[in-house]
Amino acid sequence: MASRMILLAALVAMAQNGGAHASGSVPIRFQDVIAQSGIRFILDNCATPEKHMIETMAGGVAVFDYNGDGRPDIFFTNGAALPSLKKTGPQYWNRLYENEGHMKFRDVTKEAGVEGAGYSMGVAVGDYDNDGKPDLFVAGVNRNILYHNLGNGKFEDVTAKAGIKSGEWAVAAGWFDYNNDGLLDLWVVHYAKWAIGDTNDKRYCGDQSHGIRIYCHPKYFQGLASTLYRNMGNGTFKDVSKQAGIAGFPGRGMSVDFADYDGDGYMDAFVTNDHMRNFLFRNKANGTFEEVGLPAGVALREDGKAVSSMGTDFRDYNNDGLPDIAVTALAGETFPLFRNVGKGNFTDATFSSGMAALSLQHSGWGVGFFDFNNDGWKDLFTADSHVNDRVELSSPYHYKEPDRVFANLGNGKFRDVSAAAGLNEVKAHRGSAYADFDGDGKIDVVVSSLGAPAELWHNANPDGNHWLEIRLIGTHCNRDGIGARINIGKQWNEMTSAVSYASSSLGPVHFGLGKVAIVETLKIYWPDGRKQTLHNVKADQVLTVKEQK
Amino acid sequence: MLKLLLTGAALFIFIAGAFAQTENLAARSQHARELMAQRRFAEAIPIYQDLVAAVPGNPGLVLDLGLAEEMAGQPQKAIPHFQAVLKADPESIPALSSLAMAELQTNRPNAAVAPLEKLVRLQPDNQNARGMLAGGYMSLNQPLKAAGQYRKLTVLDASDPKAWYGLGKAYGALARKSFARLSKGAPQSPYVAVLLADSRLQRKQYHSAFFFYQQAQKQLPDLPGLHTGLAKVYEKTGHPDWAQAERKLELATPCRTRTAECRFRSGDLIGAAKAGKAPSASPAQLFWATRAYNQLARDAFDRLGQMPDSVQTHELKAEILHGQGKDEEAAGEWRAALAIAPHDPSLETGLASSLVLAHDYEKAMPILKDLLAREGSEPNLNFMLGESLWRMQQPSKALPYLTAALKEDPKLLAAHAALGMVYVLLGRNAEAIPHLRKALSLDDDGSIHYALARACRVAGKTEEAKQAMQEYSQIKQRNQKINSKVAKEAEITAPK
């Protein structure tokens, strides 16, 4: 009787946690299926002996269902010839692969008209005109492109008529609705002032006497502020960076992610900066932002050191309902993990979560909090590699590394399970994007690598845990419900496409449910403040939820 | 008669006893000597103590006692014994030498200098004593005297790498001294700018060197050496035609007779250096003295560089590489030195330091642990091990080493900073605060102020948190200005 009571109590606790159990008893397994997938993409960064800084920073990847067939497709950004910065041949084209099901893809780049121009870096997916067809923004070196999805398998370059500017080195971007007007606005992250042949480009870093040239330290580059474009609702955008109060914060931006960290109903923006403090722009709910990275405790590690912050994800990893921040950085720096403790404050949980020791020897770019084994706790995936391809000559660290996955143990700590998961490809990884490509309820990962074939990591976990994916359709708010927060038991997740390094993943919001087959209560908090509750939702499905009028 | 007999008996007994005692003393002395030969110094000490008590005033025995004590690692106890010997025999070579050695062992170079000076006077060819005297002067920050001794050593044995190494270091110290005087007296002068540029050039920081040469050129375009420096920058950065033009300009620069400059340019480096000695030396004289000492140091090191591999050549290379910020490569030099002199604790310490500076904590830690086990607790070793452990994200393990370092040397500010960070990582913010406060003067990038601000905030010290955060921002602003300056330094342009 007593043992039955204990078992019952345990089941109740599990159900309250949205099926979460801390053991991680379902192992995380991946298998690279790129060779059989039909994807032949190799990121050509045009590596030169001159070590132009842009070469080492390419590699954004996006996942989105461009043709509305319910299957996530893949878009890769690509480099260009140097010094011309022109896509002089198909090897430099950005690439769009249509998902044909069963992990098979078809290159539709040309027919979709998204080969691109210039040296592309990052990508952001969002349906800016709320027509149900996700659009594409490509950030690049002096050349940004906004593609409007025409819905017939083709895209139109609307950059100029939309009022999107180029001329700076943009690395990443993200879509969010900062003023809750139901239209997605665009945040573009810039790295630094740079041009082929300028002083910083010509600077010889490394050991000239031995002919060892390396990519220069970020300190030599004068950072740039992000640009915020307000969606005017008529297919055009207006640069509101000054009015919004973000123009006065030059950084060496690498990525941007959004979440309503202080629960005021407005999305805030977190920008990672390379070797300088990160920015947390608190949305003041009046069209302006206040930079609060330092007082909030996310600008620097707890020891006051700025790290080479690369990619980021802004989600709740400890199931307390508050979005936390994970950041990738270089070997010797650790991958900082900032835990949201409420009231606008974060604590540096890098050490206490075990991530400090686990990440100390590694360098990461792409990053994502996803529940890979559907146990109810978001795990952490990182696409790893150092920035400096000669790093082995002067340090104990490695340039090319395998990707890593850190299993969330459910007690605030993580464990590196990369080797057992089968992440064994040693490459110069950069961007990463996340989706369930084959509809089996398990999150797969696509990763880009400099000068090497991309990886398509099929989640090969044994079945055993339940899952649920929620696809939102906004009516009052933006079409994909970006900015909505979803709650199941103790679990929370965000609807956002901004994740990782220079990358984007627009998909249904994923929940692992453990052994829970029916979700008793599912709550959706739409960005316009409406709350929608569903009861007794069956697990193991992609549930489409339309915002109630 | 009886009294006589008794007296005679007593005398016999005394003589017999004295004889037996003498025999016994001789045997014990022999035994002590054997122990010393077997390096069982500690065991020899009580025997010598007995012998000294049995035969008071015997300087030989007192000297032996002192030697046993010194060799047994008790130099402090040995010192009065050597002094006693010198009182009886002021020119006792072994006593002078041993006293100096004991004083150096007890970290009192000032007390070692007098016996060494006397010893060198008595034995001008004693290279060991002269080397110790030179080292003593260096410890006392008297590089001029040290240079004199090292110079004599190079004359006594031109193949002695230690002498050339010491000479180079002494001249280097003299160059720093005269540069410090120049920077204090004329900080904005072109002389300071050129010397900074020279030093950047030596470190292969060509863009920075160019910036400082240009600064000097604005004020004193004909300053000798300036064009040569610019030519070197141009050569190293792929502008041979510009370099040639600068070299021509250098040749055209006139030499003013009988000035320090002229002496320098005619190769009379010692003469040029002397001009900077006077308390009233002008900026120009100090400039030329600095350059002369720098050149003398380079000449000595060049000489060393031509010698076959030795511990000293590798030490020197390690130091140069450290100066260039190449600590990983410096570690390689320490390893090469250790291949020649395995297990040398000072070389191992050098290797560990380079590894810590190169952030290769994993390789530094076993060396530091081994050194601590072999050489005993020492604040710097404890600090470096504690620093390595916390940098490797093992704060709990770092804690005892950092605590020990501060117990042994409470003024070790870097250890305070590290211990403060360790407490922060362990969530013991209240304990972190006093250590972080003590380390604030080290904070060149604002990180300690930031950590203090965060710790104070968690500990409820709101005002202090606010103040520390403000100071953090000020440091950042200051550094930003410097960084913009660095950015300006970047461009190397054609000669004007």
pLDDT, residue B487, reads 56
When the pLDDT of each residue in chain B is averaged and rounded to a whole number, the result is: 88
pLDDT for A20 equals 41
Percent of chain A with pLDDT over 90: 87
Q: Give start and end residues of each alpha helix (H) in B341-459.
A: 345-357, 361-375, 379-391, 395-408, 413-425, 429-438, 447-458
* pLDDT at B10 exceeding the cut of 80: no
For chains A and B, CB pairs below 8 A equal 76
In angstroms, what separates the C-alpha of B288 from chain A's closest C-alpha? 29
Longest dimension (CA), chain A: 79
Q: Which residues contact B185 (CB under 8 A, 6 or more apart)?
A: B283, B286
Is pTM beyond 0.90 here?
no
Across B143-157, average pLDDT: 96
B444 touches chain A (CB under 8 A): no
Query: Which pLDDT band, with edges at 50, 70 and 90, does A187 fall under?
Result: very high
Taking the CA of residue B204 and the nearest CA in chain A, the distance in Å comes to 8
Identify the band that residue A15 occupies on the pLDDT scale cut at 50, 70 and 90. Answer: very low
* Chain B residue numbers touching A219 (CB-CB < 8 A): 483, 486
From chain B, the residues in CB contact with A220 under 8 A are 486-487, 490
Q: Do A357 and B427 touch (CB under 8 A)?
A: no
Return the pLDDT at B358: 87
Mean pLDDT, residues B238-254 = 82
pLDDT in tens, A193-235: 999 988 888 888 887 777 889 999 888 888 999 999 999 999 9
Q: Measured between beta carbons, which residues in chain B are less than 8 angstroms from residue A222?
A: 484, 487
Q: What is the Cα–Cα distance from B236 to A335, expressed in whole angstroms?
A: 38
**Encoded amino acid at B296, one letter:** L
Largest CA distance in chain B: 118
pLDDT of residue B5: 39
Instruction: Write down the pLDDT at residue A89.
Output: 96
With CA atoms as reference, report the closest residue to B39 among B16, B71, B76.
B71
Query: Which is higher by pLDDT, B264 or B350?
Result: B350
The model's confidence at residue A10, banded by pLDDT at 50, 70 and 90, is: very low
Mean pLDDT of B110-126: 95
Residue identified by tokens 């199931």 is: A319
Interval A297-319 mean pLDDT? 95
pLDDT score at A463: 82
Of B392, B445, B490, Cβ closest to residue A199: B490
As beta bridge partners, residue A187 has A174, A228
Contact call for B360 and A396, based on CB within 8 A: yes
Specify the DSSP class assigned to residue B105.
H
pLDDT over 80 (residue B486): no
**Residues in A lying within 8 Å of B, measured between beta carbons:** 199-200, 203-204, 207-209, 219-220, 222, 277, 294-295, 297, 300, 302-305, 332, 334, 351-352, 356-357, 360, 394-396
What is the per-residue DSSP string for B269-319? HHHHHHTTTSTT--HHHHHHHHHHHHHHHHHHHHHHHTSPP-HHHHHHHHH
Report pLDDT for A25: 66
**Best CA proximity match to A391, nearest among B363, B483, B358:** B358
Model confidence pLDDT, tens digit, residues B352-362: 999 999 888 98
Q: A305 to chain B: which residues are within 8 Å by CB?
A: 445, 447
Question: Is the pLDDT assigned to residue B455 strictly greater than 50?
Answer: yes
Disruptive mutation site among A200, A205, A208, A303 for chain B (greatest number of B CBs within 10 Å): A303
Please state, in angstroms and as integers, the Cα–Cα distance from residue B93 to each residue in A366, B90, B115, B123, following that order: 72, 9, 9, 9
Residue of A209, A332, A394 lying closest to B204 (CB–CB): A209
The pLDDT value given to residue A14: 42
Nearest CA in chain B to A397: B360
Mutate which of B425, B440, B443, B448 to disrupt the A interface (most A C-beta within 10 Å)? B425
Mean pLDDT of A304-331: 97
Indicate the DSSP class of residue A27: P
Of A427-431, A476-480, B1-5, B116-120, give the lowest mean pLDDT range: B1-5
Residue A296 has pLDDT above 90, yes or no: yes
Rounded mean pLDDT, B31-44: 92
In A, which residues are within 8 Å of B358 by CB distance?
394-395
Instruction: Name the range with the highest mean pLDDT among A70-79, A349-358, B211-220.
Output: A70-79
Using CB atoms, which residue from B393, B425, B446 is nearest to A304? B446
| DSSP-assigned letter for residue B224 | T
Tens of pLDDT, residues A226-276: 999 999 999 999 999 999 999 999 999 999 999 999 999 999 999 999 999
Give me the interface pTM, i.e. the ipTM. 0.81
pLDDT tens track for A443-495: 999 999 999 999 999 999 988 899 999 999 999 999 999 999 999 999 999 99
In 3-state terms, what secondary structure has residue A337?
strand
Give pLDDT tens digits for A21-72. 444 468 999 999 999 999 999 999 999 999 999 999 999 999 999 999 999 9
Mean pLDDT of B332-355: 95
Burial code (b: 16+ CB inside 10 Å, e: under 16) for A212-246 equals: ebbbbebebbebbbbbbbbbeeeeebebbbeebbb
Q: Is B450 on the interface with A (CB under 8 A)?
A: yes
Whether residues A360 and B363 touch (CB distance < 8 A) is answered with: no
Residues 297-336 of B with CB under 8 A from A: 326, 328-329
Residues of B whose CB is below 8 A from A357: 392-394
